[in-house]
Amino acid sequence: MRLLIPTALCLSLAAASAVLAAAAPRDFLSTYEASARSTDPGFGASATRGAAFFTSRHGSDWSCATCHTATPTAIGRHAATGKVIQPLAPSANSARLTDPAKVDKWFRRNCSDVLGRACTPKEKADVVAWLLSIR
């Protein structure tokens, strides 16, 4: 019995931590829009710009769509490794845009691969707006 109470408490704390770490996809849009507005007060995210950004090549051989496909509700495949990539749109994959660490890592790595630099808050907001618009 003495072992059960501390174990149950630890499991409850772990579950609470997981819930606190989770975010709603719209939270990312709000965060990136607020960051973009710090330098451009009139900025508003655009799904149209996000789609164009996602599917365009930016001076390299790759676009975001190279691996994720132009239809983010579909399964993609990494162009170099062949690794399967689950759908990017939250409407097709409820785990997308829920973990701040994963979203940060995703943008950091993929923007570097596609752009050769970090994405701006405006670019991130536009891409997230587009992903959220996909049903």
Q: Whole-prediction pTM value? A: 0.82
* Mean pLDDT of the region 21-37: 89
* Mean pLDDT of the region 47-63: 92
* Mean pLDDT of the region 40-66: 94
Residue pointed to by tokens 């149950």:
8
Domains of the chain: 23-133 (1.10.760.10)
